[in-house]
Amino acid sequence: MAANVVRLRRALGRPGVWVAVCAVTIVALVMFPAAALWPLVAAAAPAAMFAAVVTAYEQAAAFRARYPEYGGGTGDREGTARPGHPERADGDTPGAGES
Amino acid sequence: MTPPEPRLPLLTRALTGPPGRWLLPLGALTGLLLLYSVSAPGGYFGPALLGGVLALTLAVIWIPRFVVGLARADGRPGLRRHWARWAAVPLMAAVVAGLGSAGVPQDVRFALSRASLEQAAQAVSTGAEPEGGSRRIGLFSVSSVVKTGGGVSFGLPDTGFLDTHGFAWFPAGAPPEEPETSYEHLEGPWYEWRRTW
């Protein structure tokens, strides 16, 4: 039981799980375009995406705290003082990753 | 040998980074699809539906990322640094909404096709060309060209949901009253028609 709770908490801490929930909700709307689904999509899809983005920022913050010498491990070299040691004084979550 | 630099997962970097190589082209594609869907009388139902779903998806992706980035101290510098990329999606949405609600796509498409439509209408009305089915005239695919009440009617395929729509050319004046067809004047001898199902 406790192990399952831990597994669930770990899963909910992954942005990918929330992105999948968001995607499933939108796909459900396309496949079953019933009027009853619209309020569900309007609430569930953005809520899942919000959760995904918040967990992603938390993951990035934890990563920065663990690997301060890598500047968050995002590979963003903008404003780098020394190669491999980016300046992170502004606390920015760098924009090397983009979508 | 130095160990590889640890990196965040790709999805995490994408969610905390600015819109880029996927979201911006998807936004542009969605905008073009939506503009195309309103570029004929009655609109094209299929492209409008697809464009609507894509626009909903974009909004669901963009808004939470922007709001969370704005709310968090570690997100705001990224928004400031890449403000142009963040502004691009809502700017595209505003342009598409403005052009669509003003009827610009249909006006432009009709203006660019008007000479060809007029030429075809004259040819059909004088009998130089037969009435007929599918053909391409100007920038429009036309499903039928028929003489009607002193003018020529052009049917547009895939427009509307249950109704059918098209253009009509009446050089002698207003179109005749018809029970199931309504006309709306465009300019000169040109009208837009809608036949209820």
Tens-place pLDDT, residues B158-182 = 998 889 999 999 998 888 888 888 9
- Distance CA(B132)–CA(B144), nearest Å, equals 6
Answer whether B98 touches A (CB < 8 Å). Answer: no
**Number of structural domains in chain A:** 1
Helices (H) and strands (E) in chain B, counts: 6, 7
Q: By residue range, what is the domain housing residue A71?
A: 2-86
Predicted pLDDT at B60: 94
Q: What is the pLDDT of residues A44-61, one digit of tens each?
A: 999 999 999 999 999 999
Residue A38 lies in a domain: yes
The alpha carbon of residue A91 is apart from the nearest alpha carbon of chain B, in Å, by 5
User: Could you tell me if residue A91 is inside a domain?
Assistant: no
- Mean pLDDT, chain B, integer: 91
pLDDT digits (tens, 9 = 90+) for B85-107: 999 999 999 999 999 999 999 99
Decide if the complex's ipTM is over 0.90: no
Q: Considering the domain boundaries, does residue A97 fall inside one?
A: no
Q: Is B65 on the interface with A (CB under 8 A)?
A: yes
In a domain, A98, yes or no: no
User: CA of A8, closest CA in chain B: separation in Å?
Assistant: 19
